[in-house]
Structure 1
Amino acid sequence: MKDILIIVVLGLIMLLNSMDVVTDLGLGVPLWHIVEEGMIVLASGMCFVYMLWEMRRRKREVLILARNLSATDKQLQTITDEMRRARSNYSEAILQQFTDWGLTQSEREVAMLLLKGLSFREIALVRDTREKTVRQQASTIYTKSGLEGRHAFSAWFLEDLLTG
């Protein structure tokens, strides 16, 4: 939503300054003033186009991520009832561990996406937040869990499965 607001403001700046340049040309305003306002129109126009391009690029990335998650969900629907119960029990155990570590709801969401293998950038896109925020939340998750990073965090949940 904030991107749309920025694009609208840039568009208004570009439009209003363009109208001002046209008016100034008719009034015989000094050339340096017209060039200055023309540069504002050009700069705001370039930012306007860049923001539009960036929004479309991010939208495509989110759509690709959504398709990938949907495909994964479809694959999971084909597993047997026994595996479905085991998966459900394991998910409950993971969520209980998150509770034991005192993770907030946002941290739980980030932690689950980390366990699913998403990058910080992908998590930020999925959660519609900044990558820096995701990194800070991940750091807090590692601190609360007493683990030293993403690999140790993921391994902590896999270790018990592999020691059978």
Structure 2
Amino acid sequence: MKKRSILIFAVVVFQAISAVLFVVNIISTVTGLFAFTWMVHELIELGAAVGLLLGVVLGAVVLVRVMQRTHRIEDQLRIASGAFMELLEDRFADWGLTPAERDVALFAIKGMSTNEIATLRQTSEGTVKAQTNAIYRKAGVSGRPQLLSLFIDDLMSGPLGTAAPSPPQREHVELGLERG
């Protein structure tokens, strides 16, 4: 990575020097202030052209790498999104949610209000409230924040099923707060 950065820096410096010399050459031609020989004039133009070509090549390489990285990240996002949906479906199946409760749970996890869910499902708010209460009971939680935390905990446990190292347990014995 360091060699690549040095190469990029060198190309940019070469381009900058070439551009300055090219501008000085044009100013000298127009004003006659500096007298460059024919050979120096041609070498300056050659250097500027090489600098431009290096810039084009470097720009193309960077563009290709950025496009490849973007593609990789989009693939990883699709995989993560699919894994999250699998996680949701597994949890919903474990809890024995009905199809209607699955829909309501998904909308609730997406952050929609009871009113928004009722409108989307073309049902009353009372029905949605009863379904969310059933979801919370089956999931063993008391509300939406705890429901969300179940999925966040699963996601934080590691990438695609590998357990992340758990933080060190603190001793709470002196306060009578033993961990379970």
TM-score (norm 1): 0.50
Q: State the distance in 1 between where 2:108 and 2:132 align.
A: 8
SS at match of 1:117: coil
* 2:112 equivalent to 1:118: yes
For 1:103, the aligned partner's letter is L
Q: State the distance in 1 between where 2:101 and 2:130 align.
A: 10
The equivalent of 2:32 in structure 1 is none
Q: 5 Å matches for 1:1-164?
A: 80-164=74-158
The answer to which structure has the higher helix fraction is 1
Deviation at 1:106, TM superposition (A): 0.2
1:97-117 deviation line (CA, Å, top 9, x unaligned): 100100000000000000000
Q: State the distance in 1 between where 2:132 and 2:77 align.
A: 29
For 1:156, the aligned partner's letter is L
Higher radius of gyration, 1 or 2: 2
Question: Please, which runs of 5 or more residues in structure 2 have no aligned partner?
Answer: 1-72, 159-180
Deviation at 1:155, TM superposition (A): 1.0
The equivalent of 1:49 in structure 2 is none
1:40-65 deviation line (CA, Å, top 9, x unaligned): xxxxxxxxxxxxxxxxxxxxxxxxxx
Deviation at 1:86, TM superposition (A): 1.3
SS at match of 1:142: helix
Identity %: 43
Q: State the distance in 1 between where 2:150 and 2:100 align.
A: 20
For 2:107, the aligned partner's letter is L
Deviation at 1:163, TM superposition (A): 4.9
Deviation at 1:160, TM superposition (A): 2.6
Q: State the distance in 1 between where 2:157 and 2:93 align.
A: 24
TM-score (norm 2): 0.46
Q: State the distance in 1 between where 2:86 and 2:150 align.
A: 15
SS at match of 2:153: helix
Deviation at 1:92, TM superposition (A): 1.0
Aligned residues: 86
Q: State the distance in 2 between where 1:161 and 1:102 align.
A: 21
1:75-107 deviation line (CA, Å, top 9, x unaligned): xxxx70111011111101111110010000000
Question: Please, which runs of 5 or more residues in structure 1 have no aligned partner?
Answer: 1-78
Runs of 4+ in 1 over 2 A off after TM superposition: 160-164
1:109-163 deviation line (CA, Å, top 9, x unaligned): 0000000000000000111110110000000000011111111011111123235
Higher relative contact order, chain-length normalized (CA < 8 Å, sep 6+):
1
